[in-house]
Every structure is written in C-alpha cells, then in structure tokens.
Amino acid sequence: MTTPTIRLRQMIGGTWADGAGTAERSENPADPDGAPVAEYLTASEEQLEQAMAAAAAAARAWDRRGLLSRGQVLRRAALLMEDRAEDLAMLMTREQGKSLADSRGEVGASVETLHYHAAAARRPNGATYPSSHPDEVVRTIRRPVGTVAVITPWNFPLQIPVWKIAPALLWGNPVVWKPASDTPAMAVALTEILVEAGVPDGALNLLLGPGHLGAALVAHPDTAAVTFTGSVPVGHSIRDAVVPRGAKLQLELGGHNAAVVLPDAHLPSAADAIVAGGMGSTGQKCTATRRVIAVGDCYDALVGELADRVEALVVGPGADEGTALGPVVSAKARDEITTALQQAIDEGAAVLATAPVPDTPGHWVAPTLLAGIPELTICREEVFGPVTTVLRVSDLDAAVELANATDFGLTASVFTRDQRTARRCVDDLVAGLVKVNAPSTGSELHAPFGGLRDSSFPAPREQASDSAAEFFTVGKTAYERLAPEEDS
C-alpha cells in the first residue's frame, strides 16, 4: 500500500501556516520514483520577518517561566518522543534513507538528549565569590543570549536539531529553526512534539526553505546567536556574516578523519571499528573514517580484514530487515560521490573491495575500500559517502604527520595496545575528538563535541550542558549589597 504524501506547513508565532514561496518535496532515497514523502510551500523572507518578530515578542515571557519550568517542558517532549519512537524512526528511514536500526538508534539518542538537558535545569547555574564588604554578595548569573538561529543538516535530522534546540530553549531563548531541505518532514515532527510539550507561541519557529532563507536568517540584525552544522563553505559564509556584527557563533563543519593502526593493534577489532566508522550510515557522517593509516608491516593483514568486512555489507532499502546501509540521501549526493570515486581511480587509486548494491531505482553507492597515496584528491577533500582509503607509512611519526596533513580537525582514531603510543596520539593528533581503539564516529551526549581547524569555530562546544550553557547565555556578575539599616 502506498503511504500518503505528508503536507507540511511552517510554524510561525504558534500558528501552522502555508509557506508563501515555491512548491518543494522530499522523496524516499530508496524509491525516488515513488510518491513523495512530503510536499510543502517554502517560507518567504516576509515570513522570516514574521518569525523573528514572533520570537522577539515571546522572549520575555519564556524567560520569566524560569529554568525549572522550561526543563519540565523538555522532559514532556522526551516522553512524547518516546511514545512516538517507532513512527519517527519509520519516517526518518523513508525520508533520509538510513537503515531502520540506525533511525531507531537516533530517536533513542534524541530522547536521552532531551532528558539530559531537562535534568540540567537542576544543576547549579552560577557561583558566589567573597566580597571585601561584609554586607555584600558577589555572584554570577546566566541570562538568555536572545533569538537563536538554528540551521541543521539532513544526515541526523532529529538528533542534531535536539542537540541545539533543547539547550537553547532551556536557557530561555526563542528559536528560529531552518532545517535541511532534504528532511523537512522530520523537522515538522520534532516541532509538533515540542509545541505539544508546552513550548509557547513564538518561542519556537520553523521555516522550511532553501539555503538563501538560512542566509537571510543568520544575517538578520535581531539574530543574537547562530548554531550551524553543515559544510565548510557554507559555514565560512555564515562566519563572515555573523562575526563582524558581534553575534555568537557555533559551527560544526566537515572532517577528513584518520584512523592510525599500529602493528601491535588487535586487527579484527580494529577492522570492525574502521568499517563501522567509515561505512556506517552510508558514510554520511562528518566524523566518518575517510583515511586509514597502516603503520609498518600490519598493512597487508589489515587490508584483508577490512576487505572481508566491506564485501559482506548488506546495502538496500533502509526499511528492509537485514539492511546494514541504505542509499545516500539524494541523486546529487550520489553523483558527487561517484564522480569523486572515479577521479581517485583515474589518479591511481586501486579498488580493494566493494559491496554489492541493489539493481533497483534508488540513490545507491557501493561501499568502497581504496588503496592510495596521500596526494590523491580524495585524501585531501571530504567525500560524504561510504568511501575509505588505506595508506601505508613506515612509523608512528610519519602516521601522525600524515593524519594531521589536512585542513580539518574533527575526529581521529588510533588502534594500539601500547599506552604510551595511545597517549602520544591523544596529545599530537590535531582533532577535537580522539578515540583509542574505537570508531572515529560516536560521542557521549554529556561530553563536549567539536573540532579544530576548518572543522569548527572557536566557541563553546555542543552537547555537554556546561558548554551549552556557556554558548546559549550571556554571563553577568552581580554585586548585591544590603542597604544600610535604618537608625533606631
């Protein structure tokens, strides 16, 4: 039975409204010839102005609700999301293409993130300091930063928005959210949950539309803070628009993440982690393992382990039982990956292993393991798909130098049994996250997440409650002195 197409609308000032722009749709990447997943009219710049005005009008009342009350709203949202988990996972797989197991995992992680930030409402939110005056208290307080622009990608259409929106709302900020155009139905589903949980009119506004709408949002003079996850070029354009006017900025961008494998590593478990990190979610993660650097004489054995695992991957529609990897998100993404892969082969890369893909309509890309040299374009430029290149070096010094030979600095992995080697890599690899004997992907929601170099921007990190509080608030120091006692 054909699933009906979902009709989507904008959320502006507490009202669901049709967009005033062009007609757009999202499709199932595993069945692009079928019925659309969702259809909608894009928001206009006039509707962006309406959303900004609604956010400004809601700001004071949302702030006055208090931290604990806002935390309770997030807790209710977590419970609602948990109740709808299977429907959300099915929708995510239809619209984004990832396997149902991955979608269920993302929904579960999003529920936990909402609970985590709800609980953070009860953590200390300031400090007191001694005063040189006996009748004075010196303390720090946090105040909302103002209207927050949230711009999110399609690869984690629920979890990344929750990472950003939950703490922004917790700290009393109104939000205007522009999600990726490939996954609008997931954005509407999350907005429905937050509104039903008690986020008041105007405190959360959703605008569905193209990239230029996001550009107008971040450039708006009333936008006090911008949190963005996406590509490096777009991130740099946002930086250039936001930094000169003094708004706060948080960027999480691309990566070209290396896995360094030492001769003493346990190769079967290293191969498990590398294939999971490089090929999981069809390679559509900024933290995915793009380069494998084999040190010394472990190269041949490691390649054998990796090739066996890549060839065994099951690619197919995400909703099918047994599927490990679904399609990539769009025809454009498929074409970009296959073009980059062919360029690598033309430049001299050798194909070590591939996995079969379905012979049916769909945005399929075969998971591919390459052997190459550092000079390949694919070893310098991020390719957002299931392609990993194995490189060979003679020693650890060369491995660290090669791992760092990139403009990025998001994640890195090292596989070794030697604690001194591991500690050196933790210190010397230029990456915001360094994983020892673990995939380059994945992080704990209560630990700071962010990169270095072109992978990020020097600002408080995502995820951890302390980092989130630092970004979504402005700090103030209050000197509170008692008035003199009345003369008796």
Torsion of CA 85, 88, 94, 96, to 10 degrees: -110
State how far the Cα of 59 lies from the Cα of 202, in Å rounded to an integer: 8
Q: Select from 439, 430, 434 the least CA-distant residue to 404.
A: 430
- What percentage of the chain reaches a pLDDT higher than 70? 100
Element (H, E) at 14: none
pLDDT confidence of residue 463: 85
- Mean pLDDT, residues 54-80: 98
394 pLDDT exceeds 60? yes
What's the one-letter identity of residue 249?
L
Residue 381's Cβ-count burial label (10 Å; 0-12, 13-18, 19+) is: middle
Tokens of 225: 């803070």
Q: Which residues of 172-210 are buried (b: 16+ CB within 10 A; e: fewer)?
A: bbbbbbbbbbbbbbbbbbbbebbbebbbebbbbbbbbbe
State how far the Cα of 89 lies from the Cα of 95, in Å rounded to an integer: 10
Instruction: Please name the CATH architecture into which domain 6-253+456-477 falls.
Output: 3-Layer(aba) Sandwich (3.40)
488 pLDDT exceeds 80? no
In tens, the pLDDT along 327-368 reads 999 999 999 999 999 999 999 999 999 999 999 999 999 999
Mean pLDDT of the chain: 97
pLDDT confidence of residue 3: 86
State how far the Cα of 1 lies from the Cα of 130, in Å rounded to an integer: 70
> Who's near 101: CB < 8 A, 6+ residues apart?
none
pLDDT confidence of residue 214: 97
Cβ atoms of residues 270 and 237 within 8 Å: no
State how far the Cα of 280 lies from the Cα of 68, in Å rounded to an integer: 38
In tens, the pLDDT along 163-195 reads 999 999 999 999 999 999 999 999 999 999 999
Token look-up 């103002």 returns: 146
Token look-up 């893909």 returns: 357
In tens, the pLDDT along 194-250 reads 999 999 999 999 999 999 999 999 999 999 999 999 999 999 999 999 999 999 999
Q: Select from 164, 140, 138 the least CA-distant residue to 151.
A: 164
Q: Which residues make up the CATH 3.40.309.10 domain(s) of the chain?
A: 257-436
State how far the Cα of 255 lies from the Cα of 232, in Å rounded to an integer: 9
What is the chain's length? 488
- Mean pLDDT, residues 467-483: 96
Token look-up 């550092």 returns: 374
State how far the Cα of 454 lies from the Cα of 47, in Å rounded to an integer: 33
In tens, the pLDDT along 103-157 reads 999 999 999 999 999 999 999 999 999 999 999 999 999 999 999 999 999 999 9
pLDDT confidence of residue 353: 98
* Pairing of β 289-295 and β 257-261: parallel
Cβ atoms of residues 480 and 141 within 8 Å: no
> Who's near 404: CB < 8 A, 6+ residues apart?
428, 429, 430
Helix (H, G, I), strand (E, B) or coil at 26: strand
In tens, the pLDDT along 40-55 reads 999 999 999 999 999 9
In tens, the pLDDT along 262-275 reads 999 999 999 999 99
DSSP 199-246: PPTTTEEE----HHHHHHHHH-TT--EEEEES-HHHHHHHHHHHGGGT
State how far the Cα of 289 lies from the Cα of 388, in Å rounded to an integer: 7
pLDDT confidence of residue 16: 98
pLDDT confidence of residue 1: 56
- Mean pLDDT, residues 449-460: 94
Across 27-110, the runs of DSSP E, i.e. the strands, are 38-41
Give the confidence band of 468 by pLDDT, cuts at 50, 70, 90: very high
- Number of Cα atoms under 13 Å in the Cβ half of residue 308: 11
**What is the set of active-site residues?**
286
Cβ atoms of residues 166 and 113 within 8 Å: yes
Tokens of 13: 């000032």
Give the confidence band of 402 by pLDDT, cuts at 50, 70, 90: very high
Q: Which residues make up the CATH 3.40.605.10 domain(s) of the chain?
A: 6-253+456-477
pLDDT confidence of residue 486: 83
State how far the Cα of 415 lies from the Cα of 273, in Å rounded to an integer: 9
Q: List 390's β-bridge partners, or say none.
A: 292, 371
Q: How far is CA 172 from CA 10, 148, 179, 197, in A?
A: 22, 10, 21, 15
Cβ atoms of residues 252 and 456 within 8 Å: yes
DSSP 307-330: HHHHHT--BS-TTSTT-SB---S-
Q: Bin 246: left if φ > 0, else alpha if -120 < ψ < 50, else beta.
A: left
Place domain 257-436 in its CATH homologous superfamily.
Answer: Aldehyde Dehydrogenase; Chain A, domain 2 (3.40.309.10)
